[in-house]
Chain A
Amino acid sequence: MKTTVTEENGIVIVKLEGDIDLEHSVDVRNNLLDAAEQRKNMLVDLSAVSYIDSSGIANLVEALQKTREIGSKLGLVSISLQAMRVLQLARLDKVFTIYPDMAAAKAGS
């Protein structure tokens, strides 16, 4: 599990890699909330996420709530089929703004 935070044209990009499960969700949570604290629009790149569970989904929901509170935007980018399935099972796929790839995300946000 690896998290990389970069900034590009005023957008904070958080790239998550590996399995977001109970073992790692505390770190993921902290990283996402820290990134949200920068009070900029934020993209979470999920292209390299191999597995996500309910605790990982909870992290994303919390980050979304945080950005809403701040007044910035949060978008999810390049969601794997597995992650998309979990979002759909949780019926949260409509709650998030989801971009197919980074180019679309940067154009969109």
Chain B
Amino acid sequence: MSIEIADIPEPDLFGRPDHLAFLASLNQDFAASLDFDRTIEWALRGITEIMHAEAGALFLLEDNGRDLVCKACVGPVDVRGVKIRMGEGVVGRSVQNNRVEVVNNAYENPNFHRDIDLESGFSTRMILCAPMKVGDRMIGAIEVLNKRDGSQNFEAQDVHLISAMTSAAGLGIANARMAAALLEQERTRRELELAAEIQRNLLPKPQKAPFPVRGINKPMRKVSGDFFDFMAIDERFVAFALGDVSGKGMDAALMMAKTASLFRCLGKSITDPGHLLTLINREVCETTSHGKFVTMVAGIYDLTSGALRFANAGHEPPVLRDQDGAISDFPADAPPLGILPEQVFETLEISIAQGDFYVFSDGLTEHRDGAGGILEAEGVMRIIAQTERLPLDDRLPALFSLLDAMGHDARDDMTMLAVHGQIDAVQKKKRPLQSVSDPLNDMDFLAEIRVPAEANRLKIIRETTAHSARHCGFDEKETQDIILAVDEACQNIIRHAYRDVEQGEFILTIHQQSDGICFLLRDFGPLVDPSKIVPRDLDDVRPGGLGTHFINVIMESADFLPAPDGVGNLLRMVKKIGTRQ
């Protein structure tokens, strides 16, 4: 028999103050209690008592909206953990149909399952089950079994009484759950703040001039999917990186932490940025999930020459702004990290001797300008131009203030890194020291050859070099090394200095020194920017760029002197006897 609650007359609740007091306390207890399970058991015990029942059980609807699980019970049999499907049995039907089920002769009711009785020896005679609802949301049911006062039936009064108490209990449960959710939320908030703090500590400590790199990061939420880092490798090189993990929030932040750590760890020993990104990519590919990827620029800056080598994995093109305000950008030709494990990343070399190099995340390019349009790269460059005269320390904060002043909330994490070329000043100091008024002092002239800058003259150069080296007392192994170094230096002229000139020539002058040999190599091509001549990284097995490495390894010194009359280039290479490595 099912009874619609609406069909039953109001019970005399107010005539029974114990009931009323119990109802009132139900809610308070739920709200005050931190032990949810004990509180619902206490509530059920009270309800069972008031209903004069032998046993009672409280079921809660699982998150799947399908299963009802017994969370508390009173009586001779422990049925906690029993799972009932929505619509099945007396409890399942009560919940599905949202009405009180009254079964006064259980064993005759087709919906009653006898399994528990058979197992426990308990004899269920009559059942009263009320659905538990909060607002429109069904959360479970409470059932009581067998009246203790000997009566054979649950009456209409009982139906109304259990409905009232079940809905009070439901409200209490909902409140308790909400309180628990609030607590959980507060815990998550604290955890998030802790995560944000840990993340801030992953960013490098600000450095003062003359350190050339500055960075700034402004997360859109608490934690950031962007990062930047920089570190001095030694007195000459500074490594830096800026990355952007796809997505925002905690998962992006964790991936950011991993990528940043990989950079910090590997970047100290691997100085070729392309190779570094190749390794980080492999690592990220192994562990990435949910299609997450990282765009990243990694680079290394040579403080002595202004040479900057970098690699770009699918990131916004970095921008070089030279002293005249001319802008070049360097779009990525490789995909982001975390997509293709076999990807090899190329290293680009530029000179920023008199300029500034900026790397930024797409939070900047996608920022809205005053008119509500997207800034794009051009907009970012305009802001860069507005701040470029500021001291390096103030530049990035000023730039972010300009973005703020546009009056739109950030739509993404915003991160920017600037590498300041300061070679101008350094070189002015260095040049006079380097200039040799008479490079021929302390030297015996051996030979001079003037040849057209053509590959078929290299053999003549090698022969002359070989004879000169042997003349100076070098053994055969050293002589072979010297031949290689001089040959490579001449090749550089043929390949690079006169690349655009048809009939160039160069002069090789050889001098004997007391303990070695000196080569002066003079060409008349366009001025060489020494910062652009960088030996290749040997971990990277690719053709090209080897010659400069050979020269640097073999010769004691190889440096450019001011060429006479300022025309062309003058390279001096010195080799001492007995220094072969």
Contact = CB atoms under 8 A, between A and B. Distances in A.
Nearest to B491: A22
B546 A22 contact: no
Given A19-B459, A21-B459, A92-B541, A54 B491 contact: yes
Given A85-B477, A85-B481, A61 B491 contact: no
B423 interface: no
B280 interface: no
B274 to A, nearest CB: 16
Contacts of A55: 491
A95 B538 CA distance: 12
Contacts of B481: 85, 89
Interface in B344-390: none
B554 A21 contact: no
A58 B546 contact: yes
B150 interface: no
B458 A61 contact: no
Given A54-B547, A57-B546, A85-B480, A22 B458 contact: yes
Contacts of A57: 543, 546
A23 interface: yes
B543 A62 contact: yes
Interface string B537-548: 010011110110
Interface residues on A, range: 20 to 34
Interface stretch (B52-60, B113-121, B209-217, B482-490): B482-490
Contacts of B494: 22
Interface string A37-60: 000000000000001011101110
A54 B488 contact: yes
Contacts of B553: 89
A58 B484 CA distance: 14
B269 interface: no
A90 interface: yes
Interface residues of B, number: 26
Nearest to B461: A21
Given A21-B455, A21-B459, A51 B483 contact: yes
Interface in B460-518: 462, 477, 480-481, 483-484, 487-488, 491, 494-495
B554 A51 contact: no
A20 B214 CA distance: 47
A86 B491 contact: no
B546 A90 contact: yes
Contact of A54 (B456, B541, B546): B546
Contacts of A54: 488, 491, 546-547, 550
Given A53-B488, A58-B544, A61-B543, A89 B550 contact: yes
B305 to A, nearest CB: 21
A52 B238 CA distance: 35
A88 to B, nearest CB: 10
A22 B455 CA distance: 6
B549 interface: yes
A43 to B, nearest CB: 20
A86 B541 CA distance: 14
Question: Max chain B CB contacts within 10 Å: which of A19, A55, A59, A62?
Answer: A55
Interface string B203-237: 00000000000000000000000000000000000
A3 interface: no
B459 A61 contact: no
B358 to A, nearest CB: 34
A44 to B, nearest CB: 15
A90 B538 contact: yes
Given A58-B543, A89-B550, A90-B546, A23 B538 contact: no
Contacts of A89: 481, 484, 549-550, 553-554
A89 B495 CA distance: 21
Nearest to B545: A54
Nearest to A62: B543
A86 B458 contact: no
B480 A53 contact: no
Nearest to A64: B541
A86 to B, nearest CB: 6
A51 B488 CA distance: 12
A90 B538 CA distance: 7
Interface string A58-75: 110110000000000000
Contacts of B547: 53-54
A54 B550 CA distance: 8
Contacts of B483: 51
Contact of A90 (B458, B477, B480, B549): B549
24 contacts: A19-B459, A21-B487, A21-B491, A22-B458, A22-B491, A23-B456, A54-B491, A57-B546, A58-B543, A58-B544, A61-B541, A61-B542, A62-B543, A81-B477, A82-B480, A82-B484, A85-B480, A86-B484, A89-B554, A90-B538, A90-B546, A90-B550, A92-B541, A95-B541
Given A54-B546, A57-B546, A89-B484, 14 more contacts: A19-B459, A21-B455, A21-B458, A21-B462, A23-B455, A51-B462, A54-B550, A62-B543, A85-B481, A89-B481, A89-B549, A89-B554, A90-B538, A90-B549
